């Protein structure tokens, strides 16, 4: 990438094409104490109120800076390196971390060890990169006293409070309002598909686990749906098109949201899976279409529940697992409460927490 001048016009050359930079685009980026707050990098002027007829009277390139005199009397030195980072139009931090597909053969994923000052450490940066690669990460030795999970979540970003509270306790109870609070096997699912927006990341912290069952299970929804796309494009297509209703009811709230089981972004790439087959209701559609939908959902369910795709492991006290609720399905094998206690605490955070922390640590450690 190169900035070039030709008379009072400024161009950028990416090696393949040359494009003129709009003078107003540069005017919005003027630097200097009068125009930009150094700490926040927020403008001290409002370009949306300005007349768009901005021209460049004079431009020069000197020592990595573009020196521009605009026709409204403003002169500025703009860092060319900084300008060039804006030409890609893409998120250059999070989206550039490649997702690693995994199935039951997954091995050697690094666990992290909690210690004092962990949230500001280079280890935390590595942890977040690993989280974006695999969709989950396990942290050992996280203190368990006084609902420490909330403190841990808030050290990355901010807890996403829901009607279950700031955090929730996963223990078997009498009269549960969710199957999570029983001792039954829980097949792979994503959490809270009925919320708008769905909580992005779930944290689960093991406080006690004295039973012989109660294994945690995980499935990579990204791997499964990408494989389905190749193996059965028709099934994949219908699951990316039909929106179904997810609903949660208890005595104080009625939550409802609609979504495809496989949600794609504007470029038709993976964005989110929701799967919670005790809560999903497909609308009344043409019989043929529903035939295809039910077959496709059965296929997806078989894949999510296949031994080929599930990893199973036992959480020990002080282990904390953080998982991407838009990508990873989680579950649990059944257990016998007569054998002892099994007690987990959970809470949610959203992607702004992990993204904000990751960008901050990247800046801090100049990575
Ligand atoms: Fe769950």
Residue 364 CA, ligand 1 centroid: distance in Å? 34
Percent of all residues in the chain with a pLDDT value above 70, rounded to a whole number:
99
pLDDT digits (tens, 9 = 90+) for 348-365: 999 999 999 999 999 999
- Is the per-residue pLDDT at 28 higher than 70? yes
- What kind and span of H or E run contains 68? strand 65-70
Residue 330 CA, ligand 1 centroid: distance in Å? 6
pLDDT digits (tens, 9 = 90+) for 263-302: 999 999 999 999 999 999 999 999 999 999 999 999 999 9
- Is the per-residue pLDDT at 41 higher than 80? yes
> In which band, very low, low, confident or very high, does the pLDDT at 85 lie, cut at 50, 70 and 90?
confident
Compute the distance between CA of residue 76 and CA of residue 99 in angstroms, rounded to an integer.
41
Residue 305 CA, ligand 1 centroid: distance in Å? 15
pLDDT digits (tens, 9 = 90+) for 6-17: 989 999 998 889
Average pLDDT over residues 241-248: 97
Compute the distance between CA of residue 305 and CA of residue 162 in angstroms, rounded to an integer.
28
Residue 280 CA, ligand 1 centroid: distance in Å? 15
Average pLDDT over residues 45-55: 92
Compute the distance between CA of residue 346 and CA of residue 55 in angstroms, rounded to an integer.
56
pLDDT at 173: 67
Q: Residue 124 in contact with residue 137, Cβ under 8 Å?
A: no
Residue 331 CA, ligand 1 centroid: distance in Å? 6
Residue 182 CA, ligand 1 centroid: distance in Å? 12
- Is the per-residue pLDDT at 1 higher than 80? no
- Is the per-residue pLDDT at 91 higher than 90? no
Residue 97 CA, ligand 1 centroid: distance in Å? 26
Compute the distance between CA of residue 62 and CA of residue 313 in angstroms, rounded to an integer.
59
CA distances to 11, 19, 186 from 15, in Å: 12, 11, 54
Peptide bond into 197 cis (omega under 30): yes
- Is the per-residue pLDDT at 340 higher than 90? no
pLDDT digits (tens, 9 = 90+) for 293-335: 999 999 999 999 999 999 999 999 999 999 999 999 999 999 8
Which of 233-242, 318-327, 333-342 has the weakest average pLDDT?
Answer: 333-342
- Minimal CA–CA distance to 313: which of 216, 218, 212? 216
> In which band, very low, low, confident or very high, does the pLDDT at 174 lie, cut at 50, 70 and 90?
low
**If you classify domain 2-84 with CATH, what class do you get?**
alpha beta
Residue 268 CA, ligand 1 centroid: distance in Å? 27
pTM here is 0.92
Contacts of 343 (CB under 8 A, 6+ apart): 169, 170, 171, 206, 207, 208, 209
pLDDT digits (tens, 9 = 90+) for 60-78: 999 999 999 999 999 999 9
**Mean pLDDT for the chain?**
94
Residue 43 CA, ligand 1 centroid: distance in Å? 43
Residue 346 CA, ligand 1 centroid: distance in Å? 9
- For tokens 């996280």, the residue is 142
Average pLDDT over residues 190-214: 96
Q: What residue segments make up the domains of the chain, in order of their start?
A: 2-84, 112-364
Residue 191 CA, ligand 1 centroid: distance in Å? 5
> In which band, very low, low, confident or very high, does the pLDDT at 159 lie, cut at 50, 70 and 90?
very high
**If you classify domain 112-364 with CATH, what class do you get?**
alpha beta
Residue 151 CA, ligand 1 centroid: distance in Å? 21
Residue 245 CA, ligand 1 centroid: distance in Å? 18
* DSSP-derived secondary structure for 350-362: -HHHHHHHHHHHH
pLDDT at 47: 95
């Amino acid at each position: 990438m190169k900035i070039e001048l030709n008379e009072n016009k400024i161009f950028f050359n990416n090696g393949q094409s040359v494009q003129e930079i709009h003078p107003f685009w540069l005017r919005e980026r003027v630097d200097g104490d009068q125009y930009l707050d150094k700490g926040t990098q927020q403008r001290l002027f409002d370009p949306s109120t300005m007349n768009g007829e901005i021209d460049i009277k004079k431009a020069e390139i000197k020592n990595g800076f573009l020196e521009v005199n605009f026709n409204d009397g403003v002169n500025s030195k703009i860092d060319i390196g900084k300008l060039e980072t804006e030409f890609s139009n893409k998120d250059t931090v999070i989206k550039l971390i490649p997702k690693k597909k995994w199935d039951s053969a997954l091995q050697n994923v690094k666990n992290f060890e909690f210690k004092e000052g962990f949230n500001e450490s280079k280890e935390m940066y590595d942890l977040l990169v690993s989280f974006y690669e695999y969709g989950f990460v396990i942290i050992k030795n996280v203190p368990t006293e006084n609902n420490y999970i909330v403190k841990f979540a808030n050290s990355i970003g901010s807890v996403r409070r829901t009607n279950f509270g700031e955090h929730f306790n996963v223990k078997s109870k009498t009269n549960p309002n969710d199957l999570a609070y029983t001792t039954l096997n829980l097949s792979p699912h994503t959490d809270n598909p009925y919320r708008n927006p769905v909580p992005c990341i779930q944290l689960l912290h093991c406080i006690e686990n004295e039973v012989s069952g109660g294994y945690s299970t995980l499935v990579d929804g990204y791997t499964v749906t990408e494989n389905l796309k190749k193996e059965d494009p028709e099934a994949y297509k219908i699951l990316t098109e039909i929106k179904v209703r997810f609903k949660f009811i208890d005595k104080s709230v009625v939550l409802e949201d609609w979504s495809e089981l496989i949600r794609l972004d504007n470029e038709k790439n993976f964005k989110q899976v929701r799967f919670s087959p005790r809560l999903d209701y497909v609308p009344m559609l043409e019989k043929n279409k529903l035939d295809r939908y039910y077959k496709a959902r059965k296929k997806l369910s078989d894949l999510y529940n296949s031994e080929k795709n599930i990893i199973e492991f036992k959480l020990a006290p002080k282990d904390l697992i953080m998982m991407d609720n838009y990508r990873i399905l989680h579950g649990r094998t059944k257990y016998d409460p007569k054998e002892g206690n099994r007690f987990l605490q959970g809470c949610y955070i959203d992607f702004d927490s992990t993204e904000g922390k990751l960008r901050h640590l990247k800046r801090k450690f100049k990575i």
